[in-house]
């Protein structure tokens, strides 16, 4: 058996949050250090917020996540607020209301890390989510996220030939790979398979997912509609501009201090 809880634990093995090793993690860690209140949308198992607290962050930290198994793992840390919900729930009162110390409602920073933004597939999801995130921010607050640049065609490497072999916390070896089912209209549908390592390769768990790939113009149109101003746009984690070779579109979008 390989449960949803096992899958959540495996995610942490495959994707350890380590700003010393991964420039993306260091990029977000610096943003969190300067923000007195943070909402991480699609927080997963909560590793980024846990790291921030361990590094001495004393402000309000809230993780919002729809996956119950991932959220259960995050909730092992009790000095952070963990809430079940999607990006479109970011403006719910129980998410963005005053904290326990009576600080003002709204967040200085909202994040969607690890390409979580791409899980917003339909136009309706994108519009509802961006509206909610805009409302969850204080005036002057920033929404930070990244999405894979469609020009880089990252999905072409999502094949069994690029499988990862890891040791699960229980000590057994596991092999994880992706296979693309379709790539149409900017939406890539694929499966993620977890199997036992070794010659038998017994399949233990299969997930089906869809991700949306948006270019800069499409992103900017959606953000402008929701009332955001683009404060920063980068093609890599060292804050260099987007170029023809960029694999990422990294965006800092600000909620204006005053309505336009």
Domain co-membership, 82 together with 25: yes
**pLDDT of 207:** 94
**pLDDT of 97:** 66
Q: Are 210 and 189 in contact (CB under 8 A)?
A: yes
Domain co-membership, 114 together with 198: no
Domain co-membership, 236 together with 114: yes
- The answer to whether position 260 is within a domain reads no
Domain co-membership, 93 together with 185: no
3-state secondary structure of 51: helix
Domain co-membership, 184 together with 75: no
**pLDDT of 260:** 57
Q: Which pTM does this prediction carry?
A: 0.94
- The answer to whether position 259 is within a domain reads no
Domain co-membership, 22 together with 124: yes
Q: Per residue of the chain (260 residues), give pLDDT as tens.
A: 688 998 999 999 999 999 999 999 999 999 999 999 999 999 999 999 999 999 999 999 999 999 999 999 999 999 999 999 999 999 998 887 665 555 557 999 999 999 999 999 999 999 999 999 999 999 999 999 999 999 999 999 999 999 999 987 667 789 999 999 999 999 999 999 999 987 777 999 999 999 999 999 999 999 999 999 999 999 999 999 999 999 999 999 999 987 65
Domain with 200, as residue range(s), is 151-212
d(CA 130, CA 87): 8
The total number of structural domains in the chain stands at 2
Distances in Å between the alpha carbon of 259 and those of 19, 135, 176, 225, 250?
36, 12, 47, 13, 24
Runs of H (alpha helix) within 89-232: 93-96, 123-136, 216-225
């Amino acid at each position: 058996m390989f449960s949803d809880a096992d899958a959540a634990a495996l995610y942490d093995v495959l994707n350890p949050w380590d700003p010393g090793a991964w420039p993306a993690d260091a990029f977000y860690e610096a943003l969190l250090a300067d923000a007195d209140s943070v909402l991480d949308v699609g927080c997963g198992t909560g590793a980024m917020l846990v790291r921030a607290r361990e590094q001495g962050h004393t402000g309000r930290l809230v993780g919002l996540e729809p996956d119950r198994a991932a959220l259960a793992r995050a909730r092992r840390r009790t000095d952070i607020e963990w809430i079940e919900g999607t990006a479109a729930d970011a403006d719910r009162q129980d998410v963005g209301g005053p904290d326990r110390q009576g600080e003002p409602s709204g967040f200085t920073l909202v994040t969607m890390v690890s390409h979580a933004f791409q899980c917003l597939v339909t136009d309706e999801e994108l519009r509802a989510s961006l509206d909610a995130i805009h409302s969850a921010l204080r005036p002057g607050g920033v929404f930070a996220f990244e999405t894979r640049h469609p020009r880089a065609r990252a999905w072409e490497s999502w094949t069994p030939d690029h499988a990862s072999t890891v040791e699960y916390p229980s000590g057994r070896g596991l092999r994880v790979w992706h296979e693309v089912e379709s790539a149409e209209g900017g939406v890539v549908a694929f499966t993620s398979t977890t199997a036992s390592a070794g010659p038998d390769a017994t399949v233990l768990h299969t997930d089906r997912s869809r991700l949306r790939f948006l270019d800069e113009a499409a992103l900017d149109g959606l953000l402008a509609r929701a009332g955001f101003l683009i404060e920063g746009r980068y093609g890599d984690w060292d804050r260099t501009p987007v170029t023809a070779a960029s694999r990422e579109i990294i965006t800092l979008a600000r909620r204006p201090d005053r309505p336009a």
